[in-house]
Structure 1
């Protein structure tokens, strides 16, 4: 299964929704990067993604986007193949 990294915040409902979807698809080793109060990590996230909101999700090295983007990818049938890639 591909490595999944999610820039997240402790009290973000969109982060929780994204994490739940990933777990439903078998992701058990989610690398969560908490940006709460971490200016350097938030700056890293913004530099990598061009976005300032959480969650920001990567599958492997591919930036998927946020929660809505992840759900849209799943609805198009693209999430499972990405997760299954090495």
Structure 2
């Protein structure tokens, strides 16, 4: 089974974004980053995928909406992030 695509929506200078990307980098995860600092179509895409999202980062693993940096770290602490990244 192929690893699911990981997508993270970020803004310039966002400490929470940096923290989330650092965790993904530490795990060797490839991800697609969309900088929505200036708004635009990728911000609209993010809001279509997570209508209640008002902060960044917003993280998706495959079709699973993870949420923000704290949510990503909570999944990791609970031992649920690695299986999700593996497609399980």
> Shared fold by TM > 0.5?
yes
User: Aligned to 1:22, which of 21, 24, 34?
Assistant: 24
| In 2, Cα distance between equivalents of 1:42 and 1:2 | 21
CA-based RMSD of the aligned residues comes to 1.4
Contact 1:42 1:52 in 2 (8 A): no
Aligned length: 85
Whether 2:65 is the aligned partner of 1:63: answer: yes
State the SS of the aligned residue for 1:20: helix
| In 2, Cα distance between equivalents of 1:35 and 1:70 | 19
Question: More helix by proportion, 1 or 2?
Answer: 1
TM-score normalised over the length of structure 1 = 0.89
Q: Which residue number in structure 1 is paired with residue 75 of structure 2?
A: 73
Structure 1 consecutive aligned stretches of length 4 or more whose deviation exceeds 4 Å = none
Q: Which residue number in structure 1 is paired with residue 44 of structure 2?
A: 43
Q: Which residue number in structure 1 is paired with residue 10 of structure 2?
A: 8
Cα displacement (A) at 1:40: 3.1
Mark the runs of 5 or more structure 2 residues left unpaired by the alignment.
Answer: none
Mark the runs of 5 or more structure 1 residues left unpaired by the alignment.
Answer: none
